[in-house]
Amino acid sequence: MIIAQGVAKVYDNGTQALRNINLTVKQGEVVFILGESGAGKTTFLKLLLGMEKPTAGELIVAGTSLIKPRAGDIRRLRRLTGAVFQDFKLILGRTARENVALSLRILGIGWSDNRRRSKAALAAVGLADKGDNLVETLSWGERQRVALARAVVREPRLLLADEPTGNLDGASVGYVAQMLALAVKGGATLVVATHDSRLIERLPGRVLVLEQGSLKEAPVTGREQAACGQGGIE
């Protein structure tokens, strides 16, 4: 699903966000990317979605080369991808359910199917009773879960989540973990940037660490260290 060879990203201002990333992720795999703030996690997810371009190397996602994408390639990739970034990009003035439903309407899903799936997705993240609420009236954690429902409801082949449990309490983390697990069960490949041991404990997956733009497999003890809290892996 993902093949990265020697991928680097230098931003226009000269910041080297990623260096020599080599990674292969198979369809259906779960990958956690740990790393301190500024390590390059968000940049890496943006590259996978074609939101930023690598400045070196080869990056292929779902068969599409993101170095020189052909017309329509990025659009095709986005149709099969669900993504939750930290700014959510929910549409204000619309309800939680409308936000989720829009994600399906773009895919051409008909009205009744759409309504059923949107309701189910909101219920899965513990927001069954908030579907009719305007998103601006929801708490931060609730908005975060609406954004996740919107990404997962599409039944994506690739699901990218950028710190999906940042600032969430324990119960909400449980819903997020459950929703991610549901996506994986549906066959999604999952790449999650997180330093939340509560999430890593709940989902079996491969743990990688970004350190100043370089990617490393977590040491064998990585999971246990992560489970002890505060990112763990040094």
Residue ranges in contact with Mg ion by CB under 5 A: 41-42
Phi, then psi, of 115 in degrees rounded to 5:
-65, -45
Judged by CB, which is closer to ligand ADP: 57, or 126?
Answer: 57
What does the alpha-carbon distance between residue 101 and residue 174 come to, in Å, rounded to a whole number? 23
CB of 41 to Mg ion, least distance (A): 5
| Residue 139, C-beta contacts closer than 8 angstroms, at least 6 positions apart | none
Judged by CB, which is closer to Mg ion: 6, or 38?
Answer: 38
Q: Give Cα separations from 223 to 124, 208, 233 (angstroms).
A: 27, 10, 8
Instruction: By CB under 6 A, name the one of 2, 43, 47, 122 that touches ligand ADP.
Output: 43
Give the DSSP H/E element, type plus range, for residue 233.
none
Rg for the chain, CA atoms, rounded: 17
Residue pair 77/147 in contact (Cβ under 8 Å)? The answer is no
The reply to whether 84 sits near ligand ADP by the rule CB under 6 A is no
Instruction: By CB under 6 A, name the one of 37, 71, 110, 132 that touches ligand ADP.
Output: 37
Instruction: By CB under 6 A, name the one of 35, 50, 57, 141 that touches ligand ADP.
Output: 35
CB of 162 to ligand ADP, least distance (A): 7
Judged by CB, which is closer to Mg ion: 153, or 226?
Answer: 226
Q: Which does 39 bind (CB under 5 to 8 A by kind): Mg ion, ligand ADP, none?
A: ligand ADP
Instruction: By CB under 6 A, name the one of 1, 21, 25, 39 that touches ligand ADP.
Output: 39
The residues in 137-176 that bind ligand ADP, with binding defined as CB under 6 A, are none
Q: Give Cα separations from 207 to 83, 141, 191, 193, 226 (angstroms).
A: 19, 25, 10, 10, 9
* Residues in the chain, total: 234
Query: What is residue 76's DSSP assignment?
Result: H
Judged by CB, which is closer to Mg ion: 42, or 189?
Answer: 42
**Which residues of the shown chain bind ligand ADP in the complex (CB under 6 A)?**
11, 13, 15, 17, 35, 37-43
